[in-house]
Amino acid sequence: MTAFLECSNIHKYFGGLSALIDVSFSLPQGEILGIIGPNGAGKTTLFNVIAGSLKPNKGTVRFRGRDITDLGPDRICRLGIARTYQLVRPFASLTVLENALVGVSFGRSELPPRSERIGHALNALEFVGLAGKAHQKAQELTLVDKKHLEIARSLATNPEIILLDEVVSGLTPTECTRVIETIRGIQRRGVTVIMIEHVLKVVVELCRTVMVLNYGSLIARGSPSEVVSDPLVIEAYLGNAAVAEGGHA
């Protein structure tokens, strides 16, 4: 059977540094997959490779059986893979609504008629609780709202897969809870999610499957509880008590 998303034997080098080493995994449609690992493990690089903003030195990415490895990020977005950035970067001087409209313009389907675009953008904003702030400038938003705007802009592309890069970093526990609810909602919409996350609580609550990257290699894959009790994973975090205690990974 054709996998929904499949990365096979991905290698990515930056000069002499191996950021990804022989990374292979596949993902069924509808799942929320978590990716954890220490800083510099290659997590964001893997997202860049899937989303087309970096080309791997070796290996292939297939989406619904189609080899997308050599496609550019705009083509990949139009095929249905959207992403957010670890450092949020809304178009600061645009309004919240205009930011969401950018997502609509880069969307999967044919560009909807002008009259419908605002409706699509507002839907995405409504979904993340930002419809009431549609006419504010993006730069005026709080961090948690900026993160939701980033999610809304990605959702406005009408994706099949959304790649979330550390969306809860820097947020308070209450704000985290709001993001968790948003991500549950994304899954209910039928969108498949891959999330890079430092806060283990979020991974444990949301993900059936977690993969662990360490120095560019996938060292474990399983349920959150399997993964955090895996000796290789514990070693990767140097016995970091945070893993066992469910704190920051």
> Residue from 37, 56, 80, 224 that binds ligand ADP (CB under 6 A)?
37
Can residue 52 be called a binding residue for ligand ADP (CB under 6 A)?
no
Regarding beta strands 161-165 and 66-67, do their DSSP bridges make them parallel or antiparallel, or are they unpaired? Answer: unpaired
Can residue 84 be called a binding residue for Mg ion (CB under 5 A)?
no
**Comparison of 18 and 229: residue with beta carbon closer to ligand ADP:** 18
**Comparison of 39 and 115: residue with beta carbon closer to Mg ion:** 39
Task: Mark 26-55 with x for binding to Mg ion (rule: CB under 5 A) and - for no binding.
Answer: -----------------xx-----------
Q: What span, in angstroms and rounded, lies between the C-alpha atoms of 29 and 19?
A: 27
Stretch that binds ligand ADP, among 3-11, 35-43, 140-148, 197-205 (CB under 6 A): 35-43
Q: What is the DSSP letter of 195?
A: E
In three-state secondary structure terms, 43 is: helix
- Residue 208 phi, psi dihedral angles, 5° rounding: -80, -35
Contact 163, 50 (CB under 8 A): yes
Selection from ligand ADP, Mg ion, none that 90 binds (CB < 5 to 8 A by kind) is: none
CA pseudo-torsion sign 84, 88, 93, 96: positive
Can residue 163 be called a binding residue for ligand ADP (CB under 6 A)?
no
CA pseudo-torsion sign 26, 32, 36, 41: positive
Site for ligand ADP in 2-31 (CB under 6 A): 14, 17, 19
